[in-house]
A and B are shown apart, each in its own frame.
Chain A
């Protein structure tokens, strides 16, 4: 990371800390904001958050590793999470998954070369009555068919 980028990051986190407060309970909102903006939480950012909240970097890393929606490594611009639990599975998840993989040319767990898409499976997203369902960044898409899923992704491309 360049010094300028580091300084910008520090400034950004200082702003977040003044917004959410310096207590340990502010950790998750701060991390969520960083995740939303950068699509991951860089090493340096983790250490700065730790310094400003007066906790240890490993505690920040521990929290990030616990939550699936927080990442410590770079992700694509769009993180596509397809529900893999039983209701969605029975409503045709496998076909949707294959269509998405074919369309993006990557497998689940991978990020496309242009850093646009990251494919992941998610456990139940709470749309069991409207499966198969997927979440792209923070938006939920339900009642997917292979064609519909491909169309949604193409609109994002």
Chain B
């Protein structure tokens, strides 16, 4: 579709703050503001909320979220502006002229209290029987404003049925306060468009297309809405009761794999600041809870790099040497939210999606085949749990095609939040745990697998291996400390070109059955791109459709969630840009501290190709266990 950006300018799509002039001396400049008799000067267009933050004054907010555009619907952030008859919502008031603001007058306090009491009058539920107890923004505000009675009443019956049709997201609209954060997340941030306000006036509620259950609409299960909901109206489908039951059953062998992003974020649930990696403490805690084995998902992340990288080389070889028609660019398939997004919105591009499974599902298939045989355990008795930063992983492990081991490959997907609760329930204070290592036979993994958690990480890991395969040189000789900086950071779309030049190395043993030499890559330039958040993914897909710059790429990484897995829908609440940055930092510094930083150097990966997948990557057995196929879902709902 041609430049639709021009005429698509809804109110809700405008950036959440008015763009501040970069050179303040030329455009209006600084404006002096008086807040509670304190004078500060702020750039033109700063909202009152931001100005108060600069002045060190806290304004309560409910519908406001740093990732989202302004809504101004909850009215909890009202302040008095001198000369204006009514109270103003500070989040939606850009300062354009010198003003005097008062943030704590009797009128303001009374209005805020009334807003809260009115919200509570329609908010169903008792706090102690609620999973957000202690973490609910409404509860927190009620406490802060000393609400001690229901002045306007309180509903005692649920007003809506609970929608638990989805494997991932449960909606309990009786607890909704209509802040529309989920709507703005789904429509603006992710451009998936599942949720919107339905009906009018006192009947208004958040609903789906034709009020269908969530499982029947185009929900990609990314869970970003859960991460932004201030109350318990949206929550993940929690399997912890079933996991406890498996742990308590002596016949079951319960294994757990932990992904890098939950490890970088779970400390936040135990009162630590963002950016503390808890990998080894978590290993001990999991064993104390009663898991029989603790494995590192990074191992299969390394395997993913080998399989996906080999698939890319195969595709390029077919296209460049054999002149066959192949689908290029190749897309990554690690993010189950992204996979469902493309299945719905761009089903004609499913051939471009790498057939390699995500690390979680690869591990699931290996645990119930390779590991079961090695440990001498009947796979029927193995319960395989995956700790993921993601709610879509719950859907992914329930996909009917994910049964390649002959059993359900991964039994339960557990989010970071749910695991933190299980650990607390077991009476364990995670940060105090002694450190311990992962269990064999998979053992430790490389730093390349670790950085899968941050946007650009999959691509960085792939390139570290690909340049070593093709050029025969060390990645450290090409990129300083093997850190590929252009692929890092939080730009929505990142693009990089890697010239191969005329010097190519010998073909490594692992790939000798697939390509005779690298001469056909001489002088070529490898073009790669990275997108995170499905809104950015959509931009790239539309560009490819129009035959633009990205259609010439060879490999593109897509992650459904903003920031990649570290900003996933199963991560601790809240998730803000700053928190995402700190979590990414934790992952990158852990990677740098490791000896082993390239997937193909992981000795356990080398060993599994010697012992089990003896025909090499992308062979018959690896296709059976480690690769999958996708479903053309389309965008229509019947």
Contacts and interface: CB of A to CB of B under 8 A. Distances in A.
Please indicate whether A and B come from the same complex rather than being unrelated chains: yes
Contacts of A54: 1, 4, 8
How many residues of A sit at the interface, in one of the four size bands? Answer: 20 to 34
B635 A59 contact: no
Given A43-B210, A47-B636, A72-B210, A56 B196 contact: yes
A62 B4 CA distance: 22
A22 interface: yes
Interface in A8-48: 21-24, 43-44, 46-47
A61 interface: yes
Contacts of B8: 23-24, 54
Is chain A's interface secondary structure helix, strand, loop, or mixed overall?
helix
Contacts of A92: none
B166 to A, nearest CB: 15
Contacts of B187: 56, 59
B456 interface: no
Interface in B596-638: 635-638
B572 interface: no
Contacts of B4: 22, 54
A57 B7 contact: no
Interface stretch (B45-53, B197-205, B393-401, B408-416): B197-205
Interface string B186-228: 0100001111111110000001111000000100000000000
A23 B9 CA distance: 9
A120 B262 CA distance: 54
B10 interface: yes
Interface string A53-70: 011111101100110000
Contacts of A23: 7-8
A24 B196 contact: no
A43 B635 CA distance: 13
Contacts of B635: 47, 51
B217 to A, nearest CB: 8
Contacts, number: 58
Contacts of A59: 187, 193, 196
Contacts of A72: 210
Given A22-B7, A66-B200, A72-B210, A58 B1 contact: no
Contacts of B636: 44, 47
Contacts of B1: 54
A61 B193 contact: no
B200 A61 contact: no
A58 B200 contact: no
A61 B206 CA distance: 12
Contacts of B638: 43
Nearest to A1: B638
Kindly name the residue among A46, A59, A72 whose own CB sees the greatest number of chain B CB atoms within 10 A. Answer: A59
A96 to B, nearest CB: 26
Nearest to B217: A58
Contacts of B7: 21-24
Kindly name the residue among B1, B7, B192, B195 whose own CB sees the greatest number of chain A CB atoms within 10 A. Answer: B7
A58 B10 contact: no
A65 B637 contact: no
A43 to B, nearest CB: 6
B193 A65 contact: no
Interface of A: 21-24, 43-44, 46-47, 51, 54-59, 61-62, 65-66, 72
> 9 nearest interchain CB pairs?
A56-B193, A62-B196, A23-B7, A58-B196, A58-B209, A57-B209, A65-B198, A66-B200, A65-B199
17 contacts: A24-B10, A43-B637, A43-B638, A44-B636, A47-B636, A47-B637, A54-B1, A54-B4, A56-B187, A57-B637, A58-B193, A58-B195, A58-B207, A59-B193, A61-B198, A61-B210, A65-B199
Interface of B: 1, 4, 7-8, 10, 187, 192-200, 207-210, 217, 635-638
